[in-house]
Each structure stands twice: as C-alpha cells, then as structure tokens.
Amino acid sequence: MPEFPYSRLRRWPDVEADNLQAYDATDLLLVEWALALDVPGDEITVIGDEYGAITLALTDAGRPGIRVHQDLATGRRALARNAADLGLAGFVPHELDASLLAGARLVLVQLPKSLAELEQIADAVTRWAAPDVVLVAGGRVKHMTLGQNEVLGRRFAQVQAQRAERKSRLVVASEPRPAPADPPFPVTAQHDGLTLVAHGGAFAGPRLDIGTRVLLEVLGLAGAQFSKNSESGDGEGRDSAGAPGGSDRSGGVVHGGGAALDVIDLGCGTGALAAAYALAHPEARVIATDRSAAAVASARATAAANGLADRILVTHDDAGSELPDASADVVLLNPPFHLGTSIHTGAATRLFDAAARLLRPGGELFTVFNSSLGYRAELTRIVGATQQLHRTAKFTVTRSIRR
C-alpha cells in the first residue's frame, strides 16, 4: 500500500504559514496505532482531527465508515476540501453526541488544550461508546500534562502512557468506568444579572475572562460586579469622544441614540458580549458567531438562560463568512492570539478582515486585546480610523470606524 500523502494536506480556510502545517507526528502515531488493530472503520471514532489527517489516512487505508468530530468550522471545511482533493469519501461527520460514539470500540483523540474539554470527551466516550471501548489520546510531549492522565483516570480504570516518539506521545485508556447519571457539562455561572453557560471546549468556561470584562466596562454594559472584578488601571488613554451619541458619565459608549442596530459578536465564545449587549439594548438585532462548535452550543445556551433565545441568532461559521457584507452597524471582538498551541496573530488579522467586510460604512468595531500586541495600526489599515478608548498594562480597548 502506498504511503498516505500527508504533505498534500492543507489547513485552508484556516491560517496558512511556513511554520504551520496540516498534520503532525501525533496524527501519524494515532494512525499507526489504529492500523495495527483489527477494528473496522464503522467502529472507529476520531475526535479533534484538526485538518483531517487521521480520518483521511485511515479511510485511504481501507477503513470506511469512520465517524469524526471536529470542534472548529475551519477544520470541518479543511477536511472536506482535503478529502475532495485526494478523492476520498466514506467518513461521517458528527457533533459530540451519542450518534458519534454509539458502538465505537476505538476512539482516537488529538488531546485538546483544556482539561474541561477532555473531561467532556472522556465522559461522552464512557457514556455512549461500546463497553469494551479503548480511547487512544495523543499530543505533543511539550503540551502534555499529568492532569490529562488524571482526567482520563476518573473515567477509565486503566490509563497507560506510551513511550514518546518523534516528540509526541500516546496515552491509552481502557476499561471505562460507569458514567455518572448527569453529564458534567454544560456548566452555569451567574455574573451580576448575566448568566453564562459553557461546554467543556468553550474558552474561559462559565467565567468572564478579563478582556471581556474590560470591554463590557468600557461599553457601559458592565454591572457593579463586572466593574469590581475587572482589571484595575488608572484610565490612561481612555477617550470616548466621537462615538455616535457621545459617552455616558462612567465612560461607557452609547450607541446609535436608541436606533435599532445590527450587532455582531464576532468570535462570541460563550456569548457574554452578545447577551450583555442584547440585555442592555432590547431594540438591537444581535448575531453571535464562532468557529468552535462548543462555543456555539454554549452561546445558544447562554442566550436561552438569559431569556434571549429569540433575540440572538448564533451561527457556527468561520469568521462570519456566511454573513452578508455590510450588514452590521456594530461588531464586538475579543480576538484570540493562539492558533491551537501556537502563538500566532493570524487569527486576529482574519477577524479584523471579517469585521471590515461585515461593517457598513461608518459602522463601529470595538476590540479588546493584549496591550503588548499593539493592533491599533493594523486595525486602522484594515478597518478604518482607530482610537484608543482605554488602556491598562495588560489590555487595550479600541474603536475603529469603518471607512
């Protein structure tokens, strides 16, 4: 059998760069482990296959019927594109639910960054897979922790780490323990009038991350608890002049003078920004969008928990690509600065490009980012005139006016 052409795989539509590739040694180890076992494709589940390397290599090796779950919309599109390019078919995409795992005897997992996401995956496997299921999880050694073994150990009686190869390592979990009556996710937390709901793979879980808190405060959407918990600073660089409708006494920005605005929470996570905006502006039409399926499920649950299910449309999309051009008056953005385990600003740049496309002329982009990243010049170049509304040692909030 000819060797699978891993080098032909692409990350597109995710960020592509010389130091970013569409497969790694962990993918190869997981494929090699699966091929050494006599498990048919329809009894194999793959979770976290970033760009399809595991699924497509096994399909190409004669294991049709593999079920696959990818959290990111970019990964799903890359898998479909890579499959078409290689002329491969026969695998079946699923969400993280019973249909993904029913009857599965071998589950291959690219270890996620968060222990909460791994816990939800492990719970799902023990809850829905075959009684004799074996879970094989892999990752780059430098990113692996004993905490991952502990999470698996709570769900499986046997957890064995394998010898490291090519700077990657596999962990084999077997003999699943009985699943608890209630799944551990989603989880819920209250934040001074705002309810957040989070699945395991959602960034920051049910907490309000510091950047979101700062942006809510500057926008005038934060209650007393938000303000008390947000990062302290002396207000250096705060400037709310020039916003439509001016600014309120607390420095929060007032939008549109009561007009019904079209608002997009771009990269919405658990939907904190979308929900807070919708609660403060009942007349607004709000869309929340994220490339993470876990985030989308969380944002929908957050909207429902706050009585906003009929007012916030939540979409699983890549940088709002399915939303119409020039359809928004306001975009809210707390961009990531990681691509998987790599620090890379390309993800933020893609979202700046998306905001520029989505905003109407004169529309506003409100962005919060780590002060060290210095995105102001890039925002001015991509979107339009950008001013600093607030700055602390850690976070900067800017407003960009679409040219």
**pLDDT, tens digit, for every residue of 333-381?**
999 864 444 444 678 999 999 999 999 999 999 999 999 998 999 999 9
Domain end (from 127, 145, 176): 176
- Residues spanned by the domain of 11: 6-176
Phi and psi torsions of 295, nearest 5°: -65, -45
Each residue's pLDDT tens digit, 17-68: 888 999 999 999 999 999 999 999 999 999 999 999 999 999 999 999 999 9
| Residue-wise pLDDT tens digits, 103-136 | 999 999 999 999 999 999 999 999 999 999 999 9
Give me the chain's average pLDDT, please. 91
Q: Tell me: the pLDDT tens digits for 192-234? A: 899 999 999 999 999 999 999 999 999 999 753 344 444 433 3
Q: What is the pLDDT of residue 17?
A: 87
Residue 320 has φ and ψ, to the nearest 5°, of 65, 30
Residues 148 and 254 in one domain: no
Confidence of residue 328 (pLDDT cuts 50, 70, 90): very high
**Residue 264: per-residue pLDDT:** 98
Residue 182 lies in a domain: no
The total of structural domains in the chain comes to 2
Residues 139 and 280 in one domain: no
- Residue 391, Ramachandran bin (φ over 0: left; ψ between -120 and 50: alpha; else beta): beta
Q: Please give the structure tokens belonging to residue 353.
A: 């490009």
| Token representation of residue 71 | 């959290």
Of 110, 144, 176, the position where a domain reaches its end is 176
- pTM of the entire structure? 0.91
Confidence of residue 245 (pLDDT cuts 50, 70, 90): very low
> In terms of Cα–Cα distance, which of 379, 373, 264, 252 is closest to 314?
264
Tokens of 42: 């329809």
Q: Which two tokens stand for residue 271?
A: 């939907």
Q: What is the pLDDT of residues 265-287, one digit of tens each?
A: 999 999 999 999 999 999 999 99
Would you state the structure tokens that stand for residue 107, as one six-digit string? 């589950």
* Separation CA 265–CA 275 (nearest Å): 9
24 is a domain residue: yes
Residues 358 and 327 in one domain: yes
Residue 235: how many other CB atoms lie within 10 Å: 11
How many CB atoms lie under 10 A from the CB of residue 154? 13
Q: Is residue 214 part of a domain?
A: yes
The answer, yes or no, to whether residue 243 has pLDDT greater than 90, is: no
Could you tell me the CATH number of the domain that includes residue 222? Answer: 3.40.50.150
Contact (CB, 8 A) for 122 and 149: no
Distance CA 389, CA 271 (A): 22
Partnered with residue 156 across adjacent β-strands are 176
